[in-house]
Homo-oligomer: A and B are copies of this chain.
């Protein structure tokens, strides 16, 4: 059974706070192992990557077979059914169309002193995407990482995807091809992150690494951060559904289960103004848990981390949701637009009965890489901006320097930075000649 809370209970605040504080992740401490792997790859390059791949992935590679050839890529793509290919292409088109709108504008203007100011955006030159192997090898995640990079203008986009024992997911290969990925390496783990960050003879280094991975990959990303940029370190998935008794309880139950089935430490929460809806959703979840393919995972998640919260008003529901700052927020209410202004912290919001979260995982258009573990309070989902950077621009004229230079000199002196002041003064003196 999930936790069941009611805002009218005497101990509600204490129980809700405890729900917020629940620790779902217990990362193993793999940092020492990862540090050794990174050092090995930095020292021995290809040889280290190949050895580690033989050890961890039971796969014998050579420098020549680190990357898939174009013929191999084509052959795997040909294995994909037309139905799957069409679905993947529809998803890619929609994701591309959404992310195209995120491209930021440059700016340049002249202010009242005559100074020209502005900024200019440019793409990261090279990026690497990590794609887990095995069960968590999701073609949709390839699209969600690769398409924003290509929309941003990244010139060289590499994927690292382990193929344990040589097992390849053809859909991952096709997703990479559709997204415009330039090279796919069959390597994984901390050794793949190290190779992408530092480069080897056969693997060119990149400037930014994104994508999910296990504890070793996460620890490696933390370690190479600074040398390259990284995206967030994603935690287990979450959904919060706000209901007002107007949605089919079976739909809400399936939406809750679609997060729960990801991971036994995923979290699904329903906050509703309707006690009847709460009861009906709980019953529907239980019914589905009898037959769902991933019922063991989903059942454990629902039992250990699930929660149903009954409140008196939608305003209360919104306030509680803001405290959770969920990764995914569904507004399964009659008038979602009326509720939207009250919702401040969430990775993605799905409005109305006809928008199951799963649409956002695949074909909606927005990114499915989203902030977890309450980090929507301060961070955003993956976007085109993650593969770009901004350079600020400034150009003084003699008049502009005359107008604002003396203040710069004054502040430089107040901070005891004499050369700063002199660099301005030397130019001002020239103007006063």
A interface list, Cβ under 8 A from B: 83-84, 86-88, 90-91, 94, 97-98, 101-102, 107, 109, 111, 115-117, 119-120, 122, 124-125, 135, 138-140, 171, 207-208, 226, 228-229, 233, 248, 250-251, 254-255, 257-258, 260-262, 288, 292-294, 298, 336, 340, 343-367, 370-371, 373, 375-381, 383, 385, 389-398, 400-401, 404-408, 410-412, 414-424, 426-427, 430
Contacts and interface: CB of A to CB of B under 8 A. Distances in A.
B358 A83 contact: no
A234 to B, nearest CB: 11
Contact of A426 (B208, B250, B430): B250
Given A226-B375, A378-B124, A418-B292, A348 B391 contact: yes
19 contacts: A87-B411, A91-B408, A125-B344, A139-B411, A140-B415, A229-B378, A254-B423, A260-B419, A261-B418, A298-B419, A348-B394, A358-B421, A359-B404, A359-B424, A363-B408, A367-B392, A376-B389, A381-B390, A383-B390
Contacts of A422: 254, 257-258, 288
Contacts of A117: 98, 364-366
Contacts of A398: 354
B396 A355 contact: yes
A22 to B, nearest CB: 14
A412 B357 CA distance: 12
Contacts of A415: 138-140
Contacts of A375: 226, 229
B350 A424 contact: no
Contacts of A138: 415
Contacts of A349: 391-394
Contact of A417 (B84, B258, B397): B258
Nearest to A89: B407
Top 6 A-B residue pairs of the complex, sorted by shortest distance between their CB atoms: A229-B378, A366-B392, A351-B395, A254-B423, A87-B407, A87-B410
A9 B119 CA distance: 36
Nearest to A359: B408
A84 B410 contact: yes
Given A87-B410, A140-B415, A395-B336, A363 B404 contact: yes
Among A258, A405, A412, A430, the one with the most B-chain Cβ atoms within 10 Å of its Cβ is A258
Given A358-B417, A361-B408, 15 more contacts: A115-B364, A117-B364, A120-B340, A122-B345, A226-B233, A251-B423, A294-B419, A353-B427, A354-B397, A355-B396, A355-B401, A362-B407, A365-B394, A378-B389, A379-B389
Contacts of A119: 102, 366
Contacts of A380: 389-391
A116 B83 CA distance: 26
B424 A356 contact: yes
Nearest to A399: B354
Contacts of A356: 423-424, 427
A90 B389 CA distance: 28
B423 A393 contact: no
A375 B228 CA distance: 7
Nearest to A325: B207
B94 A408 contact: no
Nearest to A141: B415
Given A351-B394, A394-B359, A84 B414 contact: yes
Contacts of A417: 258, 261-262, 294, 358
Contacts of A394: 348-351, 355, 359-360, 364-366
Contacts of A401: 354-355, 359
A419 B385 CA distance: 32
Contacts of A408: 87, 91, 358-359, 361-363
Among A117, A344, A396, the one with the most B-chain Cβ atoms within 10 Å of its Cβ is A396
B254 A358 contact: no
Given A117-B98, A377-B125, A395-B355, A407 B262 contact: no
